[in-house]
Amino acid sequence: RADGGSASNEMMLLGGHTGTHIDALCHVSHQGRLFGGHDAAAAQVGGRFKVHGVETIPLMFCRGVVLDIAGLHGVPVLEPGTPITAGDLERAADRQGVEVKAGDAVLIRCGWPVHWKDPETFVGHHHGVPGPDESAAAWLADRRIRLTGAETIAYECIYPGRGHALLPVHRMLLV
């Protein structure tokens, strides 16, 4: 990608990014490196990752926190291409009376599933998709959460007309 990032995808008989899924640390690299400095090209020789594959994710049992960003803004669904910021996460947590703590699973609600039956809107290549921006990724990382997710196709703000060309939130949280 233009910013030096790259990504890989798992090999399955169905697309891995078409619904519920979890990204392993090998999913995204930057400047040819995976999390921990591993060489991304060398790590995947032979068709299977030698480090950070999804099979290395340990069993998770932790507290879950849902931050309702659509509710924070008083709407059932956020508009396409709306960035969810660190300020949004902080205000939603305060509004809901929760504190995001180390080890938490933090889920972000933006209402996007209402578009599930409209693939063009749901994927958002033309009009965008709401999602966390880099400030939100930094906010979550600073709290040392265990995992995070949302009900969109990519855990990113997809800006109108840009598609999935850049994935800075993935890079920040996975690399």
What pLDDT is recorded for position 15? Answer: 56
Average pLDDT on 165-172 reads 90
pLDDT digits (tens, 9 = 90+) for 14-67: 555 656 678 889 989 999 999 999 999 999 998 888 999 888 988 889 999 999
Q: What is the 3-state secondary structure (H, E, C) of the chain?
A: CCCCEEECCCCCCCCCCCCCCCCCHHHEEECCECHHHCEHHHHCCCCCCCCCCHHHCCCCCCCEEEEEHHHHCCCCCCCCCCEECHHHHHHHHHHHCCCCCCCCEEEEECCHHHHCCCHHHHHCCCCCECEECHHHHHHHHHCCCCEEEECCCCCCCECCCCCCCCCHHHHHHHC
Question: Does 91 have pLDDT greater than 90?
Answer: yes
Question: Does 164 have pLDDT greater than 80?
Answer: no
pLDDT digits (tens, 9 = 90+) for 118-162: 999 998 989 999 999 999 999 999 999 999 999 998 899 999 988
